[in-house]
Chains A and B, each alone.
Chain A
Amino acid sequence: MEVLYQNLFNLDVKMVIMWLIGGILIYLAIKKDMEPTLLLPMGFGAILVNLPLSGAVTQGLEEGPLSILYKAGIANELFPLILFIGIGAMIDFGPLLSNPILMLFGAAAQFGIFFTLCTASMFFDLKDAASIAIIGAADGPTSIVVGQKLQSNYIGAIMVAAYSYMALVPIIQPPIIKLLTTKKERKIRMEYTQKPVSKTTRILFPIFITIIAGLFAPASVALVGFLMFGNLIRECGVLDSLSETAQKALANLVTIFLGITIASQMQAENFLKVDTLLILFLGLVAFIFDTAGGVIFAKILNLFLKKKINPMIGAAGISAFPMSGRVVHKMALKEDPTNFLLMQATGVNVSGQIASVIAGGLILNFFLH
Chain B
Amino acid sequence: MFQIMMLFAPMQFVENLRYMGLGMLGIFIVIGAIALMTMLLNHLTASKQDDSKD
Residues of A near any B CB (own CB < 8 A): 96-98, 100-101, 103-104, 106-107, 110-111, 113-115, 117-119, 121-124, 126, 129, 195-198, 200-201, 204-205, 208-209, 212-213, 216-217, 274-275, 278, 351, 354-355, 358-359, 362-363, 365-366
- The number of residues on chain B lying at the interface, defined by a beta carbon within 8 Å of a beta carbon of chain A, is 37
B13, A359: Cβ atoms under 8 Å? no
With contacts defined as CB atoms under 8 Å apart, how many contacts are there between chain A and chain B in the complex?
A: 126
B24, A114: Cβ atoms under 8 Å? yes
Nearest residue, chain B, Cβ from A105: B31
Q: What residues of A have a CB within 8 angstroms of the CB of B41 in the complex? A: 200-201, 204-205, 208
Could you list some 19 contacts between A and B, CB below 8 A?
Answer: A100-B42, A107-B30, A114-B23, A117-B16, A122-B13, A123-B7, A123-B8, A196-B46, A198-B45, A200-B41, A201-B42, A208-B34, A216-B33, A274-B3, A275-B4, A354-B31, A354-B34, A355-B31, A362-B22
Q: What residues of B have a CB within 8 angstroms of the CB of A208 in the complex? A: 34, 37, 41
Distance (whole angstroms) from the CB of B26 to the closest CB of chain A: 5
Closest 9 CB pairs of A and B: A198-B45, A100-B38, A114-B20, A107-B31, A121-B12, A114-B23, A100-B35, A103-B35, A201-B41
Residues of B near any A CB (own CB < 8 A): 1, 3-4, 7-10, 12-13, 15-17, 19-20, 22-24, 26-39, 41-42, 45-46, 48-49
Nearest residue, chain A, Cβ from B2: A274
B34, A212: Cβ atoms under 8 Å? yes
B16, A216: Cβ atoms under 8 Å? no
